[in-house]
Amino acid sequence: MTAFMGTTSGQADRVSQVADRGRGLYSISAVGRMVGLPVATIRTWEDRYELVVPERSASGHRLYSRAQVEQLRFTMDRMAEGLTAADAHRLLAEQIERGLPVSGQPRMGRVLILLAEPDPYAAEYQEYFLKTEGFDVEMAVTGETARKSLRENSPSLAVIELLISGGTGLSLCRHFKDQGVPVVAVSVLEGRDQAIEAGADAFLLKPLDPLRLVSAVRDLLGSSAFLHGAPEASR
């Protein structure tokens, strides 16, 4: 995930992503789905190692930040290399103490979705709902950073807001289509025909219903993307 973030150059992107990394965003059940761990295990690790401790909402719910999700992935990667849970956490503690970056490798089979969405609130929901369904998500708030991400990260699918960068979403759709990347175009304005003509594979009217978004993404990727993983998504 950090690798994705490092690839974006737009200042707005950096600001929003840095701000989001420390905030509690995800419920424990969502994190469980995202990293592939039972909820009980996450709780046990929290109690035992007191390292990945989420903030609590006013009503007491655990809320994990994106950085904490990466920490859990880091731990799992080390365990996959043969360390015990205790040793993996010790290593994680050292990394944090030294101020070294902590990131987990997206596991084989995970699929990267690029969200080209300038509205921070819409982007937050879309990212959340896609991640809780097991996708990896990269975000771009301008057409330029979206193109750069396409070059550097090879996403499996792009969700493009047609009003991005002053309404240049249609040309972005064309660009992604030319590179063979499936596109879900989204907009608050009805623009189905123009989007499809510009190469989008699907169009969704905003505000986005999470179920429709996830269904559209799944339909376009096909179940094989989950079973086998797109090579470019594993990076």
Partner 1 sequence: MSQRLLSGHEPLDTVLGGGLPANAISLITGRPGSGKTILAQQYAFQNATPERPVIYFSTVSEPLGKIIRFGQGLDFFDRTAIGKSVFYEDLGSTVDEYGLAGVNEQITTAIKERRPGLIVIDSFKALHEFADDYAEFRRFLHELAGRLGAFPTASLWVGEYENAEIGSMAEFAVADAIVELSTARAGSRGFRALEVRKLRGSGFRSGLHAYRLTAAGMRLFPRLADPQADEDYPLSNVRASSGIPALDEMLDDGYWPGASTLVAGPAGSGKTLMGLHFIFNGVRQGEPGVIATLQENTTQLERIVQGFGWSVGERNVEVMYRSPVDIHIDEWAYDLLRTVQRTGARRILIDSLVDLRLAASDETRFREFTYSLVQRFTRQGVSALITLEIPGLFGAERLSGDGVSPLSDNIVLLSYLKDQSSIKRTMSVIKTSASRHDPAIRPFVIGPRGIVLE
121 near partner 1 (CB under 8 A): yes
- State how far the Cα of 175 lies from the Cα of 177, in Å rounded to an integer: 5
Cβ–Cβ under 8 Å, residues 213 and 130:
yes
Sole binder of partner 1 in the list 14, 77, 128, 215 (CB under 8 A)? 128
- State how far the Cα of 161 lies from the Cα of 119, in Å rounded to an integer: 9
56 near partner 1 (CB under 8 A): no
Sole binder of partner 1 in the list 77, 83, 90, 125 (CB under 8 A)? 125
Q: Which of residues 133-162 bind partner 1 (CB under 8 A)?
A: none
Q: Tell me how far the alpha carbon of residue 20 is from its chain's centroid.
A: 12
Q: Nearest CA to 199 among 169, 154, 224?
A: 169
174 near partner 1 (CB under 8 A): no
Three-state secondary-structure class, residue 171: helix
Sole binder of partner 1 in the list 19, 40, 50, 57 (CB under 8 A)? 57
Q: Work out how close the CB of 61 gets to partner 1 at its nearest, in angstroms, rounded to a whole number.
A: 7
Backbone angles phi, psi at 157, to 5 degrees: -160, 150
22 near partner 1 (CB under 8 A): no
- State how far the Cα of 119 lies from the Cα of 192, in Å rounded to an integer: 20
Number of shown-chain residues binding partner 1 (CB under 8 A): 21
50 near partner 1 (CB under 8 A): no
Sole binder of partner 1 in the list 12, 51, 63, 196 (CB under 8 A)? 63
The residues, ordered by sequence, that sit 6+ positions from 68 with a Cβ below 8 Å of its Cβ are 31, 52, 54
Can you spell out the DSSP letters for 49-97? H--S--EE-TTS-EEB-HHHHHHHHHHHHHHHTT--HHHHHHHHHHHHH
77 vs 119, beta carbon nearer partner 1: 119
Sole binder of partner 1 in the list 112, 157, 163, 208 (CB under 8 A)? 208
30 vs 102, beta carbon nearer partner 1: 30
Sole binder of partner 1 in the list 22, 101, 167, 207 (CB under 8 A)? 207
Which residues of this protein are in contact with partner 1, per CB under 8 A? 25, 27, 30, 57-59, 61, 63, 119-122, 124-125, 128-129, 206-210
